[in-house]
Amino acid sequence: MQKIVLTGGPGTGKTTIIDELHKQGFTCQEEVSRQVTLMARENGIEQLFLKDPLLFSKLLLESRIQQFKASLNKKGGFVFFDRGIPDVHGYMNYLGIEYPKLYIKKSKKYLYDTVFLMPPWQKIYITDNERYESFEQSLAIHNHLKNTYKSLGYTIIDVPFGSVKERVDFILKAIG
């Protein structure tokens, strides 16, 4: 099973691509940050990421590791992840917040086979109840994520702008 991560700043089309790959029959792991955000809201915390970024990142790390471990039970083919484990400390780097060294240790333990980076694209960028970052912040997050994956030794494949079909076709061609 090849583990493939789609990463990038907020609003770059990752989830749309993951949804299309899922429709085409591929195994996909959804982004868990929205679930963590909604769970916190149910407990009275409007923006857990802003209020307690360390708790938010801890919950994300645990969820992404669970997703990764679940993918190990699959046989053959591909599993696509809407963000990966290194995204957790990539965001912490963006915020300039110290985090446990365990984050990097886990990123080195649970490795992906291929990393696709979705660039910020102002044409498609929107905010919503869970995505509050400005486009400029998305650019900064993009750079931190790129540096985080590179620091872990990953070769990054940049996904060009285009229609959903063109982007999915690019990804599928790149992985063979």
Domain of 48, CATH number, reads 3.40.50.300
pLDDT of residue 76: 75
How far, CA to CA in Å, does 87 sit from each of 32, 61, 170, 174? Answer: 12, 9, 22, 22
Q: Which of 23-37, 90-104, 106-120 has the lowest mean pLDDT?
A: 23-37
Residue type, 67: Q
As beta bridge partners, residue 3 has 79
Query: Nearest to residue 93, comparing CAs of 52, 47, 37, 53?
Result: 53
Q: Locate the DSSP E strands across the chain.
A: 2-7, 27-29, 78-82, 114-117, 156-158
Q: Which H helix or E strand runs over 26?
A: none
pLDDT at 57 exceeding the cut of 70: yes
- How much is the average pLDDT of 138-147? 92
Confidence of residue 120 (pLDDT cuts 50, 70, 90): confident
Confidence of residue 110 (pLDDT cuts 50, 70, 90): very high
Which token pair is 149? Answer: 């994956």
Angle at 148 between CA 108 and CA 63, to 5 degrees: 60
pTM for the model: 0.89
Q: 43 falls in which pLDDT band (50, 70, 90)?
A: confident
The DSSP symbol for 27 reads E
Dist CA 63 CA 80 (whole Å) = 15
Number of domains in the chain: 1
Average confidence (pLDDT) over 73-86: 91
Of the candidates 7, 9, 44, the residue with the CA atom closest to the CA atom of residue 127? 9
Is pLDDT larger for residue 65 or for residue 133? 65
Question: How high is the pLDDT of residue 1?
Answer: 87
Q: What is the pLDDT of residue 132?
A: 62
> From the CB of residue 134, how many other CB atoms can be counted at a distance below 10 Å?
12
How far apart CA 32 and CA 109 sit, in angstroms, is: 20
What domain range is 38 assigned to?
A: 2-175
What's the whole-number average pLDDT of the chain? 88
In this prediction, residue 126 has a pLDDT band, given cuts at 50, 70 and 90, of low
Q: What is the pLDDT of residue 129?
A: 57
Bigger pLDDT: 1 vs 144: 144
